Amino acid sequence: NAGVTQTPKFQVLKTGQSMTLQCAQDMNHEYMSWYRQDPGMGLRLIHYSVGAGITDQGEVPNGYNVSRSTTEDFPLRLLSAAPSQTSVYFCASSSSSVTEQFFGPGTRLTVL
């Protein structure tokens, strides 16, 4: 099992550009989530999904969109990148919200 994979590992964008961060898991997990990590602020929940076709907003959803068309994939879209979105992004998956979450290796995003 590859576990949770994220691509790309690094990305530099200009303000206003859009892009999609990819996340995939091969553990047949129903629950998937996206977090951003900034110094001193821990992991903040952006969006999450309890199963295919179902998504919901987390703590900091503005500027981000998600979709969950399959159990395996949970892409995160930045609509119009802003410098405030410079961060490390982690995708995670688990069987449910009350079981261990497995995190991907992260994507380091810089918005100039």
Range in contact with another protein (rule: CB under 8 A) among 15-23, 44-52, 69-77, 79-87: 44-52
Q: Is 42 in the site for another protein (CB under 8 A)?
A: yes
Spatial neighbors of 46 by CB under 8 A, at least 6 apart, are 33, 34, 35, 36, 58, 59, 60, 61, 64, 66, 76, 89
Residue 26 is which amino acid? D
Least Cα distance to 4 among 86, 90, 78, 64 occurs for: 90
Range in contact with another protein (rule: CB under 8 A) among 21-29, 32-40, 64-72, 77-85: 32-40
Q: Is 17 in the site for another protein (CB under 8 A)?
A: no
Residue 21 is which amino acid? L
Q: Give the residues lining the site for another protein (CB under 8 A).
A: 4, 31, 33, 35, 40-45, 48, 50, 56, 58-59, 90, 92, 97-98, 100-101, 103-106
